[in-house]
């Protein structure tokens, strides 16, 4: 007598298909949830040092007074060269550094006109005047930079531009008409990121020079 092979009934086959469909839907839902969580994590972990105001055309840096003009034009790289050797040296600054302020003697000015690059901060050099690496401790803390002229024209008043390139590739510019002690271009950052900062100091006229001192401090009560 021949053996009889039992084949699955149509009802049983339909049940299997429904189970496979449900499993597929669950897997697709899990993949979608994972993608949403990854995107949310990237948004939450992005650097918080720069906030942009929609429609303003300029970024707003928390803690910077209205005085500075702040730009984020990455096309400046290669014109002002953050990677060039600084003319007046460089330093590694561990958060909580002493002495505070950290000071650097330098000479402002140059032949490169920043107004042609939509950065109206005077004439300076392609290479930065100074650079420093900020690291250690909390990832974001207060930082202030300012430049005080010390030459013969400092008491009569000159226009000075302070330019800073930050670790998150932002360009900051403070332009100030100095008129004796207590007036100087300065830039404040409430949440300064760890990384390398490069600094330029510009003057009104091409070829002019002005000796002075760059100040880097962690205290808001340290003022020009």
Task: Please state whether the predicted TM-score (pTM) of the whole model is above 0.85.
Answer: no
User: The tokens 């009104």 sit on which residue?
Assistant: 204
- Of residues 5 and 57, more confidently modeled: 5
Give CA–CA dist 126/147, Å, rounded: 18
pLDDT in tens, 97-139: 999 999 999 999 999 988 876 677 899 999 999 999 999 877 7
Q: Say how far residue 2 (Cα) sits from the centre of its chain.
A: 83
Q: In the numeric block, which tokens belong to residue 211?
A: 């000796």
Distances (CA, A) of 192 to 64, 123, 144: 11, 26, 9
In CATH, 58-217 is 3.30.300.130: no
Whole-number pLDDT of residue 38: 56
Whole-number pLDDT of residue 16: 72
Mean pLDDT of 180-187: 75
Comparing 31-40, 96-105, 135-144, 209-218, which segment has the lowest mean pLDDT? Answer: 31-40
Inter-residue contact 117 to 108 (CB < 8 Å): no
Give the percent of the chain with pLDDT over 90.
44
Structure letter (DSSP) for residue 177? E
Give CA–CA dist 110/23, Å, rounded: 69
Residue 14 pLDDT level (bands cut at 50, 70, 90): low
């Amino acid at each position: 007598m021949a053996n009889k092979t039992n084949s699955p009934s149509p009802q049983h086959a339909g049940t299997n298909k429904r189970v496979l469909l449900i499993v597929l839907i669950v897997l697709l839902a899990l993949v979608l949830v994972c993608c949403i969580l990854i995107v949310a994590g990237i948004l939450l972990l992005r650097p918080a040092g720069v906030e942009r105001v929609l429609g303003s055309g300029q970024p707003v840096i928390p803690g910077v007074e209205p005085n500075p003009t702040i730009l984020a034009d990455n096309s400046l790289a290669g014109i002002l060269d953050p990677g060039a050797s600084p003319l007046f040296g460089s330093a590694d600054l561990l958060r909580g550094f002493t002495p505070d302020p950290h000071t650097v003697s330098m000479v402002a000015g140059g032949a490169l006109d920043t107004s042609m690059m939509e950065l109206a901060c005077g004439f300076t050099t392609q290479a930065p005047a100074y650079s420093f690496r900020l690291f250690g401790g909390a990832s974001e803390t207060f930082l202030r930079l300012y430049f005080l002229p010390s030459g013969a024209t400092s008491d009569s008043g000159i226009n000075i531009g302070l330019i800073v390139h930050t670790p998150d590739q932002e360009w900051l510019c403070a332009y100030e008409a100095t008129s004796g002690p207590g007036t100087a271009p300065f830039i404040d950052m409430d949440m300064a990121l760890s990384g390398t900062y490069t600094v330029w100091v510009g003057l009104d006229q091409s070829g002019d020079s002005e000796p002075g001192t760059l100040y880097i401090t962690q205290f808001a009560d340290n003022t020009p």
